[in-house]
Structure 1
Amino acid sequence: MKHRGRHRRQKRGRALRGFLAGTALALTAAATMISASQATVATDPGALRPLASAAQTDRLALREHLEPQDTLDRLAASMGRPVGVGTVLAGADRTLRSTADCTSAEREALPVEPAATRAYCWDAADTRSWRAGAVTTSGDADDDGLWGQNRVILSAWSQDANQLARVAFIDANDMERLTYSWVLLTVPVDGGRDYRALDSQVSGMVWYQDKLLVTAADGLYVYDMNRVQRATVDSPAVGRVDGGWAAHGGQWVLPAVGSYRVTGTRPDYISLDRSTSPDSLVASDWVSTDDDRDVRLWRYDFSRAADSTGLLSTDGAGYARVNEAYQTKAPGVGAVLSYGSDWYLGRAADTDGDHGTLWRQDATGAEATGCGTDESRRCWSTDAESFSYWEATGELWSQSGRVLFALPLNAIDRSLS
């Protein structure tokens, strides 16, 4: 069983925050040299408005479907004993570039104000034809920020051409040198006799306890972080092939152990909120800037049952019901985070070369990060679609294009205008 160590958090957090202070100086200097244009902040969306009627919230319910144990056992019997996160990290064979090795074009994707305190860039050859998606960390998985003895970051990528989704398991024990391995997301078929690729862009992803929840076109898929399987054949195929099992040329496969199917509206973006009791899964839907619909924000409780670790709380009929829901006039927002009474919404740039907007909203109003002499310019990342708050260190993690970055959440709060 994973040891939950709150008593270690404060000491580790002080050390990390001391490191952040020095790192911020270099990244702040880099941010001041960014030459990309910054459009004015978008129209103020105002205060959050509650969704209280059953007619509004029932469409947000999710129906739980867990794979039969026989299906998972049959797949494991054919592929070999499953492994955990530590085994994947031990074989990490790729390295992220540090900030100093990022190109000027890559650094332009970073927030201008507040500046990132950590930033890493992906190898173009390793991510060519893949689209960056959601981020989650071992800070989501456990409140001490560790999974076993490891600090871990997960970064999702999707490839439309081959209808694939994969996750980089990043060893973050040495923040000066991040290494990673790719793990292909799959779904068992034919009762565990085969598997298919997860055909979906991963715009949202949350690692909570031993489960990984991933957005998909028909809801959320659930993965067990202790059930990673080895591929045995180097082939561009996915699934059972002559001689064994293939993962599009990769070494690792993560088969789904269940899903939450939509009954109406599907979550497009998700994150974890540890400030609620119980911990909750936060969700939002995508609304184009050309659409006059309101954006919906809502949450589901995680289960406290010992036999449902990492799963959502469901009623007797197997439905995960909405605990709380709001609407906001903030079209174009993607990344969503809730902490305390505040909701943070990231809006990407409208045009290439511009920076985006970061809103903080609550029941009384909204504020946006800004810069310039009149604080009226957009200064957020260009295209960050995911937020993950590492509570043990106070850092907000996100990803924009080929840049993975972090900054203290309290720095965002201080910069709000």
Structure 2
Amino acid sequence: MGKPATVAAAFTPLLRLAFGAEPPLRFEFWDGSSVQPAGDQPGIMRFRSKDALSHMVWAPGELGLGRAFVSGAVDLDGDIFKILRALQSAVPDAARLGIAGALQATAAARQLGALGRRPKPPPEEAQPPRGPRHTRNRDAAVISHHYDVGDDFYRLVLGPSMTYSCARFAAPDDDGRAGANAAVPLADAQRAKHDLICRKLGLADRPGMRLLDVGCGWGSMAMHAASVYGTQVVGVTISGTQAEFARKRVAEAGLSANIEIRLADYRDLRGEQFDAISSIGMFEHVGANRAAEYFDTLRALLRPEGRLLNHAISSIGGSKIRPRSFIGRYVFPDGELLDVGETVLAMERAGFEVRDVESLREHYALTLRAWVANLEADWDRAVALAGEGRARVWRIYMAASALGFEDGGLGLHQVLGVVPDDQGRSGLPATRRAWG
């Protein structure tokens, strides 16, 4: 078979296999040739060099395409959300073309001289973790990969709240019927989320209550509880950079007398008593096989009538993030999303009475869109802080995740449990009105 006249000519059979009659957006190639749909197009996927095809041949499917994007061999020009939605709508699983796709990609690579030596993965990719899943050392390694990227980079993306979890976009006078209010600024939405959790946990009932914040991140929840409600807080994280940054923020805010930040694993917590526990965006790192141990540990730390608020991403039926997926290699190695029903059951088996379950799915979509906007608005500085590859990882992962929350493929639930006293008293208010 001779060399095709253009790169587009070599790619066309592969595009037809993936998308049918015509692609959902314009595809441009390094020789200046292109393939495009007849109608409107949401953007451009640009293949800048042979390396793009080499990545896809050596790692067929999602991982190879992700490597090509992170390395800069593939670019997406236009509204990232519209581009990803168009690709998703055109074929349910465009990243997995099966054996036929792999053979077609190999044939195109051979025609274009792109087989060659296996390309190295971009340096931002995590090496597959070693040892059993969710052991202390392995958990510490994967947490470091994701969170020890640089505090200034996270501040750029997350905004001044430094809160890496779903916000709550509800104006003070919202009655909840209109859904998430996109007009609410991100910083206000994060404060609203923290305040909702504080009220669900009953921290407004009396000053000086003792709160454990598991997976405390950069200390935002601890600081809100201490500054607004006078709560005594212990925050724990296994990220060294997060712990250092959180301690600095706490000291600068004059809250050191109220907040202790520990570099510690939740499995190290023994022999203490708390009035309430918050776990915000941490449970995704625990794993289904450790869920019972996790809730048993937290249950033992609560006094009678103590409450736990578990705020976590969920998926119907549960799912483990695959080690050869883009998310598994670049974002959340070893991540697991439990079905909210399994979370409720695990809490009940540990001795909690589950009193409230609330979904904030649409709110997380808005949160992620706000983070993407922050990143894109200050792109050059983000690249200077973390490197172009890391910035690319965050842009595509957050945009794709936003679409997952919008279409219901991902969920976000707050589950409130209480430890009744020996008389069965929960100490909770009779209705949700107490926390809005």
Smaller-chain TM-score range?
Answer: under 0.3
Q: Which has the larger radius of gyration?
A: 2
Which has more strand, going by share of residues?
Answer: 1
